Amino acid sequence: MQKKMLAVAVACALAAPGLAPAQSSVEVYGTINMAFGKFRYSGDTAGAPSVSKWDVANPNNASNYGLRGRESLGGGMTAWFQIEQSAPLERSNSVAITPASRNSAVGLQGAWGNVFVGQWTTPWADLNALWDIGTVAGSWGPVTSIIGRRETTGTAPNPNCVNGQWSGGGTPSATSGALNACDAVEAAGGVGHPFWRRVSQSVFYQSPVFAGFQGKFAYQTNEGKAVTGYVNGGKSSVAANPSLWSGSIQWAGMGGRARVGLAIDRHKDFTTIGKSDNGWALKGGWNFGVVDIGGAYEKMTYKTAAGDTDAKQWGLGVSVPIGGTGAIKGSYARAKDLSNGTDSGAKTYNIGYEHRFSKRTNVGIGYAAIKNDSAAVFTWTGLPPNPGGQSNTPAAGSDPSTFFISIQHRF
């Protein structure tokens, strides 16, 4: 009751005076995900020294909170909304808390499916829930460190920085504003834009579930279209016209023990103007009771000015239940070298024990590491600064690792 009263109070505070109609249900929710541990960056390709340090970290910036609500419209149709943002919980290494920076949308749902507009993870990224069962208490796993993440090289514009579109030629800036801001590696844009990132200014559709099957589709509009030409109505040409679509179909059966999904993406004008990057992913798993196993494979093709550059990643996850409230968990993932000939691959692995104290609170202990090739800079979001102290992105060839204790609480 207190939770719902708080949610209503927050919703009223956000609304304009006199424009706050009652919802049939509104709630505050969130996830707190923190880890304490010993972190290490190995020496890099250029010969820089290694460094070890202690830190309290927010793994993958996964802590969040939000508001969501639903209202019955009659005839089996429901209106809903969600507004979610990050909760960094690290003052010395935090970013501005921007409302609706995570999955946030408004939509209508009925027997025909779910249609909504706003910002959300893509159907491609949604498939990670089918296989990523080896990450300990929401901490340092393969998703967004290896799987779905390839921002390791390239110099062409990337229109998907911080979930926003960008266009206009040249190189996007990491400091010139929200729409242009990228992480330290992605700031160069181009080859390596991540296929896992949320998309905004987008339209989404999720079908009903038929015999265990469900389809999903997302379209990111070409808001970033830009033209060049004469000011006074003269001829013009398109400088950039970025957009993307992402689609998937997934199936779950055998009481949910078996699950599998296939996704296909197409990203227009992301790496090279006039060309479309594309990719596909196959992810799934099987719960045998005594062990739950998951697997993922994905391939992306980036259209560079010099030709196609292929990126391939795969991963395995495992969870072995112990005593009904605990599990030994582990995962391994590999990013192969890009097809452009650079030594840009990496591998990551983690292993640990997770204990479930309740439906809302898990505690884990474990070890995780990323082994970068000489030109690779794969990492987890949320790590402490590297040996140089100015960035949490490792230098080329440096390997981040951690022994950690983590806690995850959902409310």
pLDDT tens-digit series, residues 194-233: 787 788 889 999 999 999 999 999 999 988 787 776 556 6
Determine phi and psi for 7, rounding to 5 degrees: -60, -45
pLDDT greater than 80 at residue 163:
no
Q: Domain residue spans in the chain?
A: 2-410
pLDDT at site 236? 64
Mean pLDDT over 240-269 rounds to 93
- pTM, two decimals, is 0.84
Higher pLDDT, residue 370 or 172 = 370
14, 23 Cβ separation under 8 angstroms? no
Q: Could you read off the pLDDT of 167-190 as tens digits, one per residue?
A: 333 333 333 333 333 333 333 333
pLDDT at site 310? 92
Confidence of residue 234 (pLDDT cuts 50, 70, 90): low
pLDDT at site 297? 98
Where are the alpha helices (H) located in 118-231, listed in sequence order?
A: 123-126
AA identity, residue 9: A
pLDDT at site 89? 83
Q: What b/e sequence results for 290-318 when a residue is b if at least 16 CB atoms lie within 10 Å of its CB, and e otherwise?
A: eebbbbbebebbbbbeeeebebbbbbbbb
The region, left, alpha or beta by phi > 0 then psi within -120 to 50, assigned to residue 134 is alpha
pLDDT greater than 90 at residue 153:
no
Q: Could you read off the pLDDT of 293-316 as tens digits, one per residue?
A: 999 999 999 888 788 989 999 999
Q: Which of 30, 218, 256 is nearest to 125 (CA)?
A: 218
pLDDT greater than 90 at residue 272:
no
Rounded percentage of the chain residues whose pLDDT exceeds 70: 81
Residue with tokens 């062990």: 291
User: What is the fold, at CATH topology level, of the domain defined by 2-410?
Assistant: Porin (2.40.160)
pLDDT at site 23? 56
pLDDT at site 237? 73
AA identity, residue 3: K
pLDDT greater than 50 at residue 161:
no
Determine phi and psi for 54, rounding to 5 degrees: -95, 150
Determine phi and psi for 247, rounding to 5 degrees: -140, 150
| Residue 341, SS3 per DSSP | coil
Mean pLDDT over 253-258 rounds to 91
| Residue 382, SS3 per DSSP | coil
Q: What is the mean pLDDT of the chain?
A: 83
DSSP letter for each residue of 298-314: EEEEEEETTEEEEEEEE
pLDDT at site 3? 52
Mean pLDDT over 59-75 rounds to 92
pLDDT greater than 60 at residue 45:
yes
pLDDT at site 333? 98
Rounded percentage of the chain residues whose pLDDT exceeds 90: 55
Please give the span between the terminal C-alpha atoms of the chain, in angstroms, as a whole number: 13
pLDDT at site 206? 98
330, 350 Cβ separation under 8 angstroms? yes
Helix (H) or strand (E) holding 206: strand 199-206
AA identity, residue 123: P
pLDDT at site 233? 62
pLDDT at site 17? 42
